[in-house]
Amino acid sequence: MMNFLISICKNIVIGVAVKLTIYGIICICDEFLNIISVKVRFEIVAKTNSALYYSIIVDSIPDVSHTDQLTVIINYVLPKGRIKERFIPLIPIQKAQLIIDTKWFAMADAVAAFNAGFHHIKKLNKIVTDENEKQVTIE
């Protein structure tokens, strides 16, 4: 990884970067960071694929500006038994559905099913609590 960074740094000419406008320098920095992030992501995936055991955690986290972003955390075990944890950069989510909405719909379905079958539940409760309905077990 370090050799990759050194090779990129050797290709940057400091004299030319100073003469560029601020916009140009920002573009160069963004491109540089993008290249490095792609390389790091490929390294993480390669090491995860070579690991015998690994886990992937995916979560959606809204940031301060209420932009929903996907977070991916990968844990893997090296051949010598060391555990590594790697964080893959945040990925912006274009469209998402709130988990609260899905839980609400599931709860509404459960309540509707409960209300529809409530009289059956009352009958079952009566059978269970009725002494005359209890079975006699033979030992």
What is the tens place of the pLDDT at every residue in 21-77?
A: 555 666 777 788 888 888 888 888 888 888 888 898 888 777 777 777 778 888 998
Reported confidence tier of residue 79, pLDDT bands at 50, 70, 90: confident
Average pLDDT of span 84-102 = 68
The whole-angstrom separation of Cα 19 and Cα 6 is 23
With contact defined as beta carbons under 8 Å apart, do 74 and 88 qualify?
yes
> What is residue 44's predicted lDDT score, i.e. its pLDDT?
85
Reported confidence tier of residue 18, pLDDT bands at 50, 70, 90: very low
> What is residue 43's predicted lDDT score, i.e. its pLDDT?
87
For the chain, the average pLDDT equals: 70
The whole-angstrom separation of Cα 31 and Cα 25 is 10
DSSP for residue 79 = T
